[in-house]
Protein backbone atom coordinates (compact mmCIF):
# COMPACT_ATOMS: atom_id res chain seq x y z
CA UNK A 1 0.00 0.00 0.00
CA UNK A 2 2.78 2.37 1.00
CA UNK A 3 4.77 1.45 -2.10
CA UNK A 4 1.83 2.08 -4.45
CA UNK A 5 1.13 5.45 -2.77
CA UNK A 6 4.79 6.48 -3.30
CA UNK A 7 4.59 5.41 -6.94
CA UNK A 8 1.38 7.42 -7.40
CA UNK A 9 2.98 10.55 -5.88
CA UNK A 10 6.03 10.13 -8.12
CA UNK A 11 3.81 9.72 -11.19
CA UNK A 12 1.82 12.84 -10.31
CA UNK A 13 5.05 14.81 -9.84
CA UNK A 14 6.28 13.73 -13.26
CA UNK A 15 2.95 14.70 -14.86
CA UNK A 16 3.01 18.15 -13.23
CA UNK A 17 6.56 18.81 -14.42
CA UNK A 18 5.68 17.62 -17.93
CA UNK A 19 2.56 19.81 -18.04
CA UNK A 20 4.56 22.86 -16.95
CA UNK A 21 7.24 22.19 -19.55
CA UNK A 22 4.71 21.70 -22.35
CA UNK A 23 2.78 24.80 -21.29
CA UNK A 24 5.86 27.02 -21.29
CA UNK A 25 6.97 25.66 -24.68
CA UNK A 26 3.54 26.36 -26.17
CA UNK A 27 3.71 29.93 -24.87
CA UNK A 28 7.07 30.43 -26.61
CA UNK A 29 5.84 28.83 -29.84
CA UNK A 30 2.72 30.94 -29.89
CA UNK A 31 4.66 34.13 -29.28
CA UNK A 32 2.60 34.95 -26.20
CA UNK A 33 5.53 34.98 -23.81
CA UNK A 34 6.16 38.73 -23.78
CA UNK A 35 8.30 38.47 -20.66
CA UNK A 36 11.05 36.64 -22.55
CA UNK A 37 11.42 39.33 -25.21
CA UNK A 38 11.05 42.14 -22.68
CA UNK A 39 13.93 40.69 -20.68
CA UNK A 40 16.41 41.18 -23.54
CA UNK A 41 17.53 44.55 -24.85
CA UNK A 42 16.54 48.05 -23.89
CA UNK A 43 17.83 51.61 -23.96
CA UNK A 44 21.54 52.23 -24.47
CA UNK A 45 23.96 55.12 -24.90
CA UNK A 46 27.17 54.48 -26.85
CA UNK A 47 29.65 56.24 -29.16
CA UNK A 48 29.81 55.83 -32.93
CA UNK A 49 32.85 55.78 -35.20
CA UNK A 50 32.90 59.56 -35.49
CA UNK A 51 32.94 60.03 -31.72
CA UNK A 52 29.28 61.08 -31.52
CA UNK A 53 27.02 59.90 -28.74
CA UNK A 54 24.22 57.68 -30.04
CA UNK A 55 21.32 55.99 -28.30
CA UNK A 56 18.91 53.23 -29.19
CA UNK A 57 16.42 55.94 -30.22
CA UNK A 58 18.68 56.96 -33.11
CA UNK A 59 17.82 53.63 -34.75
CA UNK A 60 14.04 53.87 -34.43
CA UNK A 61 12.21 53.01 -37.63
CA UNK A 62 14.94 50.57 -38.67
CA UNK A 63 15.54 46.92 -37.89
CA UNK A 64 18.84 46.33 -36.11
CA UNK A 65 20.97 43.21 -36.35
CA UNK A 66 23.30 43.51 -33.35
CA UNK A 67 26.47 41.57 -32.64
CA UNK A 68 28.70 41.97 -29.58
CA UNK A 69 32.42 41.30 -29.95
CA UNK A 70 35.80 43.02 -30.26
CA UNK A 71 38.27 43.92 -32.97
CA UNK A 72 41.17 41.87 -31.57
CA UNK A 73 39.04 38.70 -31.65
CA UNK A 74 41.04 36.03 -33.50
CA UNK A 75 38.24 34.01 -35.09
CA UNK A 76 34.68 34.07 -33.72
CA UNK A 77 33.95 37.74 -34.41
CA UNK A 78 35.37 37.83 -37.94
CA UNK A 79 33.41 34.69 -38.75
CA UNK A 80 30.13 36.08 -37.39
CA UNK A 81 30.57 39.49 -39.02
CA UNK A 82 31.39 37.81 -42.32
CA UNK A 83 28.09 35.92 -42.05
CA UNK A 84 26.27 39.22 -41.48
CA UNK A 85 28.04 40.78 -44.47
CA UNK A 86 27.23 37.74 -46.63
CA UNK A 87 23.58 37.92 -45.65
CA UNK A 88 23.46 41.67 -46.35
CA UNK A 89 24.83 41.05 -49.84
CA UNK A 90 21.88 38.74 -50.53
CA UNK A 91 19.25 41.37 -49.65
CA UNK A 92 17.52 43.61 -52.17
CA UNK A 93 18.12 47.39 -51.97
CA UNK A 94 14.65 47.96 -50.47
CA UNK A 95 15.38 45.37 -47.78
CA UNK A 96 18.79 46.86 -47.05
CA UNK A 97 17.19 50.25 -46.45
CA UNK A 98 15.18 48.77 -43.58
CA UNK A 99 18.11 47.16 -41.75
CA UNK A 100 21.18 48.40 -39.85
CA UNK A 101 23.86 45.87 -38.87
CA UNK A 102 25.45 47.00 -35.59
CA UNK A 103 28.72 45.78 -34.09
CA UNK A 104 29.08 46.68 -30.39
CA UNK A 105 32.48 46.33 -28.72
CA UNK A 106 32.92 44.43 -25.46
CA UNK A 107 36.51 45.72 -25.27
CA UNK A 108 36.22 49.52 -25.05
CA UNK A 109 39.76 49.88 -23.69
CA UNK A 110 41.22 49.02 -27.11
CA UNK A 111 38.23 49.54 -29.41
CA UNK A 112 38.22 53.30 -29.86
CA UNK A 113 35.58 54.94 -32.08
CA UNK A 114 38.03 55.21 -34.99
CA UNK A 115 39.08 51.56 -34.66
CA UNK A 116 35.45 50.43 -34.59
CA UNK A 117 34.57 52.54 -37.62
CA UNK A 118 37.33 51.08 -39.79
CA UNK A 119 36.79 47.52 -38.56
CA UNK A 120 33.03 47.52 -39.15
CA UNK A 121 33.41 49.11 -42.59
CA UNK A 122 35.88 46.40 -43.60
CA UNK A 123 33.05 43.87 -43.37
CA UNK A 124 30.23 45.90 -44.89
CA UNK A 125 29.78 49.60 -45.73
CA UNK A 126 26.43 49.68 -43.93
CA UNK A 127 27.75 48.18 -40.71
CA UNK A 128 27.85 50.56 -37.74
CA UNK A 129 30.56 50.11 -35.12
CA UNK A 130 29.74 51.28 -31.59
CA UNK A 131 31.85 51.51 -28.45
CA UNK A 132 31.77 53.65 -25.32
CA UNK A 133 32.99 53.90 -21.77
CA UNK A 134 33.43 50.81 -19.63
CA UNK A 135 30.17 51.72 -17.89
CA UNK A 136 28.24 52.22 -21.12
CA UNK A 137 29.45 48.94 -22.60
CA UNK A 138 28.72 47.09 -19.35
CA UNK A 139 25.18 48.51 -19.32
CA UNK A 140 24.29 47.49 -22.88
CA UNK A 141 25.94 44.08 -22.41
CA UNK A 142 23.84 43.51 -19.31
CA UNK A 143 20.67 44.60 -21.11
CA UNK A 144 21.26 42.06 -23.87
CA UNK A 145 22.42 39.31 -21.49
CA UNK A 146 25.85 39.22 -23.15
CA UNK A 147 28.64 37.32 -21.45
CA UNK A 148 32.05 38.99 -21.79
CA UNK A 149 35.12 38.56 -19.58
CA UNK A 150 38.79 39.22 -20.12
CA UNK A 151 40.70 35.95 -20.31
CA UNK A 152 43.08 35.32 -17.44
CA UNK A 153 46.85 35.09 -17.80
CA UNK A 154 47.35 37.46 -20.74
CA UNK A 155 49.35 40.68 -20.64
CA UNK A 156 47.81 44.12 -21.01
CA UNK A 157 48.31 44.37 -24.76
CA UNK A 158 47.53 40.91 -26.10
CA UNK A 159 44.66 39.72 -23.92
CA UNK A 160 41.60 38.05 -25.37
CA UNK A 161 38.00 38.44 -24.29
CA UNK A 162 35.77 35.43 -23.81
CA UNK A 163 32.29 36.36 -24.97
CA UNK A 164 28.98 34.96 -26.14
CA UNK A 165 28.38 34.90 -29.89
CA UNK A 166 24.77 35.69 -30.75
CA UNK A 167 23.10 37.90 -33.35
CA UNK A 168 20.17 39.89 -31.95
CA UNK A 169 17.35 41.09 -34.19
CA UNK A 170 15.69 44.23 -32.85
CA UNK A 171 12.52 45.70 -34.34
CA UNK A 172 11.90 49.26 -35.56
CA UNK A 173 10.28 49.99 -32.18
CA UNK A 174 13.50 49.09 -30.34
CA UNK A 175 12.22 45.79 -28.97
CA UNK A 176 14.06 42.49 -29.18
CA UNK A 177 12.42 40.18 -31.71
CA UNK A 178 14.65 37.15 -32.21
CA UNK A 179 18.21 35.84 -32.16
CA UNK A 180 20.48 33.76 -34.35
CA UNK A 181 23.04 31.45 -32.72
CA UNK A 182 26.67 31.12 -33.70
CA UNK A 183 26.91 28.82 -36.69
CA UNK A 184 23.97 30.33 -38.56
CA UNK A 185 24.92 30.50 -42.24
CA UNK A 186 24.70 33.60 -44.42
CA UNK A 187 22.03 31.89 -46.55
CA UNK A 188 19.88 31.01 -43.53
CA UNK A 189 20.30 34.48 -42.04
CA UNK A 190 19.40 36.15 -45.33
CA UNK A 191 16.32 33.95 -45.72
CA UNK A 192 15.14 34.81 -42.20
CA UNK A 193 15.76 38.52 -42.73
CA UNK A 194 13.89 38.51 -46.04
CA UNK A 195 10.82 37.07 -44.29
CA UNK A 196 11.04 39.76 -41.63
CA UNK A 197 11.74 42.70 -43.92
CA UNK A 198 9.13 41.98 -46.61
The answer, yes or no, to whether residue 29 has pLDDT greater than 80, is: no
pLDDT top residue among 158 and 121: 121
Position 151 scores a pLDDT of 87
In terms of DSSP bridges, do strands 176-181 and 63-69 run parallel, antiparallel, or are they unpaired? unpaired
pLDDT category of residue 155 using cuts at 50, 70 and 90: low
Position 170 scores a pLDDT of 98
Position 28 scores a pLDDT of 33
Contacts of 1 (CB under 8 A, 6+ apart): none
Where on the phi/psi map is residue 182: left (φ > 0), alpha (ψ -120 to 50), or beta?
Answer: beta
Q: How far apart are CA 129 and CA 151, in angstroms?
A: 23
Task: Report which of 161, 127, 170 is spatially closest to residue 37, judged by C-alpha positions.
Answer: 170
What DSSP designation does 73 have? -
Q: How far apart are CA 127 and CA 19, in angstroms?
A: 44
Task: Report which of 125, 127, 130 is spatially closest to residue 114, judged by C-alpha positions.
Answer: 130
Amino acid sequence: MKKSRTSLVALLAVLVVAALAIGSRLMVWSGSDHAASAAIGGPFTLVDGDGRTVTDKDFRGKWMLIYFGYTFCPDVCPTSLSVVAGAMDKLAPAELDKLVPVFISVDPARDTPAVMKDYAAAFHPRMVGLTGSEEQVAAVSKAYKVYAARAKGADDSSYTVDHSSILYLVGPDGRFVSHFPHGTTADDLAAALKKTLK
